[in-house]
Amino acid sequence: MSLEPLLSHPAFAAGDSLVEVGRAAATCTQCGLAAGRTQVVFGSGSETAELMFVGEGPGEQEDLQGVPFVGRSGQLLTQLIEGIGLSREGVYIANVVKCRPPGNRDPQPAEVEACSPWLDRQLQLVPARVLVTLGKYATQLLLDTKVGITKLRGREFRLERAGMTAIVIPTFHPAAVLRGGGAALAEARADFVRIKRALGRDQR
């Protein structure tokens, strides 16, 4: 994906650190979601992470606390991360859209398009070698596909976007795992084993 159309966007004009870009995102009014938010939920974690997670969008608790994945889904995500010997503080977590959609509805295409430069800047600034997409929206956006998450989960794809290159491993959104019970949890754990293996490989 060419950076040329993005360079005039506030995400790319804000500065060269996640702190500066997050500060600019806090005042974003690029789409209608800005009107209903409590605050922008930009991202959290290590700026030097080799592993990055991208979800769909903030829920109620995330909107209140300003941190992605802090509700029940977040607790499960933390458990899955710790299950492969990593810590939440050592990875980076973001969402496709940075403001909570009303009633936790799915983000609309225009909202995803308006918010994607913020994610592109995060992808550019976080030196992740492995990128995990959580659920349908993040997977379809970053892989530029209409294929469903069930067919894509657990596989590896090469991503070149916003000047960065990474391995993408799609998996279910933690909320879907919670709804799906034991079978879904087993599949998610298997995906995280693949993530750990991918991180252990020399990808130079």
What 3-state DSSP class applies to 131?
strand
Is the pLDDT score of 1 beyond 70? Answer: no
pLDDT band of 202, cuts 50, 70, 90: low
pLDDT digits over 16-52, tens only?
Answer: 899 999 999 999 999 999 999 999 999 999 999 999 9
Q: What's the DSSP call for residue 76?
A: H
Mean pLDDT of the chain: 93
Structure tokens at 51: 């592993």
Is the pLDDT score of 10 beyond 80? Answer: yes
Q: How are beta strands 51-55 and 130-134 bridged, if at all?
A: parallel
Mean pLDDT of 63-81: 96
Write the single-letter amino acid at 182. G
The answer for residues whose C-beta is within 8 angstroms of residue 62's C-beta and 6 or more apart is: 41, 68, 69, 70, 71, 74, 100
Per DSSP, helices labelled H in 101-173 are: 109-125, 136-143, 149-152
Structure tokens at 96: 């496709």
pLDDT band of 109, cuts 50, 70, 90: very high
Which carries the bigger pLDDT value, residue 77 or residue 13?
A: 77
What 3-state DSSP class applies to 58?
coil
Biggest distance spanned by C-alpha atoms of the chain: 46
Q: How are beta strands 157-161 and 164-171 bridged, if at all?
A: antiparallel
Reported in sequence order, the residue ranges of the chain that DSSP labels E, i.e. its strands, are 43-45, 51-55, 92-95, 130-134, 157-161, 164-171
Mean pLDDT of 72-101: 97
- Structural domains of the chain ordered from first start: 4-200 (3.40.470.10)
Share of the chain above pLDDT 70, in %: 95
d(CA 177, CA 158): 25
d(CA 161, CA 131): 12
Q: What is the pTM of this model?
A: 0.93
